[in-house]
Structure 1
């Protein structure tokens, strides 16, 4: 079966491939239909474990998983989905629409079974835009995806263009599930580390070819939230390099990993390896050199101009403390432009020389690199 690159369908597909001991490309629609008994038991067993008991309401609130036990079991529901096919194309894979008939009640699939695909822009969104054109197979695989879910404030899942990563990720989670279910694991006080899981998976590779997306979501009650963090390939390979250089622990201790999830490491790392308030280094020389080499996106010409500028300032009679504090307080680019012009004038009045030339100003007057330039000037003045 081909991947849809929908996070829920893909995770369900890899989970099914794991339990059938097949490659995802060898999974057939018949396999999905035949797997319902096995996978329903796995899901019921999983959500019955105290450690994971809240997942069913966070993932599939108001579904069969969270409703009081009655005549319709999860197996019945999933088999009912598969047996009822409509004549509209699936919005995820191009197959047929599921039109389900259970206990003589006909309805379309809503957000209880397919998170994040139903609009919730209306006040009473349970009665507005609630139907989905989703085929039985994508629907069943979406339910299977709960077996790959973990909670860290929100439920989260990974999806990647790398087949190897998805296999390793699924295998890791399912092994953990098996152990926890067998031991009757209790809820943990500490939040599940989303970054630690990522590190444990990617740091065994020599080179990672692919991108990773992290989905944080909540589909419970009246709430339907989702946040997607795109983890760039360069960041994944950076984690691997940090591990090899024995710098990963220090990197995490400085809480730099949050910027990997946000995609803003280049703009923020200098503020974390230096204490700009106390004007001192807080990271080791090894980590500083490593990050300046691997992460700094400023062109060499800009770095050289900043070094020349700050060297001149530090050997002048100007009040460096005042200059430093003024720059640190600047939050707007236009204010930074004015600051550069005024600084050049002050330096000229004091020394009779220019602090920088017009072509240097053009390099420094770069709104796209504003934060990086500002932070590099600050740390260079320390």
Structure 2
């Protein structure tokens, strides 16, 4: 079976690949429907408390939380197999012609897509064309997720080798007694174990999808680590800075692309400087050159800790006062303007001052 790049279905597919010891491309629909006993036995091998918590954390929970779970689960998969053989519509996810109108997939078997998921309680979409095989794989995905104290995390990657390792790691961990861990620490630990300690030569991305399903709280959030960001982390690890990165909890800054707050550690910030500059408000080259000139003039003429001074500036008025004060100060020293007259208004633009301040701080770091 080919991948769908839906995190729930692909996780289930790699779970089955692990249990059947078959590459995903050789897994058939018959394998999927004939594996209910294997899946059930694997669930029984999980740490009991892990399964108890996870079956309520994830959205694929209706089958798992019913009384008589074993009978209901196997009966459900058998029903999916029968529906699959009678299908006449094309699946919107895997492309197989096996969708049956008589069964409408709900968010409890495939979240985020189906017509009554929590983003669409009004049921505007009358029907979702999802085949029984995809639904079964989505249910199997419970064996390949990661428990945290704030929800369950599914990992996905466009690289099959990486995806396989991520799912296999989760399956192994679920057999062990749970040790409380935060979402950020779980993501950081996974990166360290499965990515940074292995030699992957191919560019790939990783997504971590957090599912929170606690009564009134129904939410998913996806954190994306692009190949570019992963490469920075790998290079940072090779430079021996990973322990320092972990200690400062900088994984938060990478996941939320808040690179500016990493500037207090210049050794680590240098790996993300260009990503920070790309993310900042786009500026004309003439403005960027002017900011570089301002940084050099400040550095040559002012003895104070300029970065600390800029960090204290929390409003547009204070930034304007900083520029005016140093404009006068430097002019009185050598007759030179800190900011050229032509670009003065652009530098103290009330809509862009924060980006200018941040860029100026970064330029000062590297002088």
Query: What is the TM-score with the length of structure 2 in the denominator?
Result: 0.79
1:88 is aligned to 89
Alignment partner of 1:145 is 2:144: no
1:54 is aligned to 53
1:167 is aligned to 164
CA pair 378-45 structure 1, distance change in 2 beyond 3 A = same
1:79 is aligned to 78
CA pair 135-321 structure 1, distance change in 2 beyond 3 A = closer
CA contact (8 A) 2:188 2:251 kept: yes
Aligned residue pairs total 348
1:211 is aligned to 205
In the alignment, the residues of structure 1 paired with residue 104 and residue 309 of structure 2 have an alpha-carbon distance, to the nearest angstrom, of 62
TM-aligned CA deviation for residue 21 of structure 1: 1.4
1:357 is aligned to 340
Alignment partner of 1:228 is 2:234: no
CA pair 28-158 structure 1, distance change in 2 beyond 3 A = same
CA pair 189-230 structure 1, distance change in 2 beyond 3 A = closer
Q: CA RMSD in A?
A: 3.8
CA contact (8 A) 2:232 2:272 kept: no
CA contact (8 A) 1:251 1:257 kept: yes
In the alignment, the residues of structure 2 paired with residue 350 and residue 372 of structure 1 have an alpha-carbon distance, to the nearest angstrom, of 28
1:346 is aligned to 328
CA contact (8 A) 2:110 2:138 kept: yes
In the alignment, the residues of structure 2 paired with residue 126 and residue 73 of structure 1 have an alpha-carbon distance, to the nearest angstrom, of 28
Alignment partner of 1:244 is 2:238: yes
CA pair 305-151 structure 1, distance change in 2 beyond 3 A = farther
Moved more, 221-230 or 145-154: 221-230
**Aligned to 2:108, what secondary structure does the other structure show?**
coil
Alignment partner of 1:311 is 2:299: yes
**Aligned to 2:58, what secondary structure does the other structure show?**
helix
CA shift digits 1:49-77 (9 cap, x unpaired): 21342101111465120012278421111
In the alignment, the residues of structure 2 paired with residue 31 and residue 326 of structure 1 have an alpha-carbon distance, to the nearest angstrom, of 60
CA contact (8 A) 1:242 1:248 kept: yes
CA shift digits 1:191-233 (9 cap, x unpaired): 4622111221111225451111111112454543111111121
1:261 is aligned to 255
In the alignment, the residues of structure 2 paired with residue 44 and residue 130 of structure 1 have an alpha-carbon distance, to the nearest angstrom, of 37
2:130 is aligned to 134
CA shift digits 1:139-161 (9 cap, x unpaired): 01111111111122121111111
Structure 1: where are the runs of 5+ without partners? 101-106, 274-282
CA pair 323-211 structure 1, distance change in 2 beyond 3 A = closer
2:314 is aligned to 329
TM-aligned CA deviation for residue 90 of structure 1: 2.2
CA pair 173-246 structure 1, distance change in 2 beyond 3 A = same
In the alignment, the residues of structure 1 paired with residue 67 and residue 249 of structure 2 have an alpha-carbon distance, to the nearest angstrom, of 43
Alignment partner of 1:112 is 2:112: no
In the alignment, the residues of structure 2 paired with residue 91 and residue 293 of structure 1 have an alpha-carbon distance, to the nearest angstrom, of 39
Moved more, 163-172 or 301-310: 301-310
CA contact (8 A) 1:17 1:23 kept: yes
1:188 is aligned to 179
Moved more, 235-244 or 350-359: 350-359
TM-aligned CA deviation for residue 287 of structure 1: 4.0
CA pair 366-149 structure 1, distance change in 2 beyond 3 A = farther
CA contact (8 A) 2:107 2:118 kept: no
Query: What is the TM-score with the length of structure 1 in the denominator?
Result: 0.76
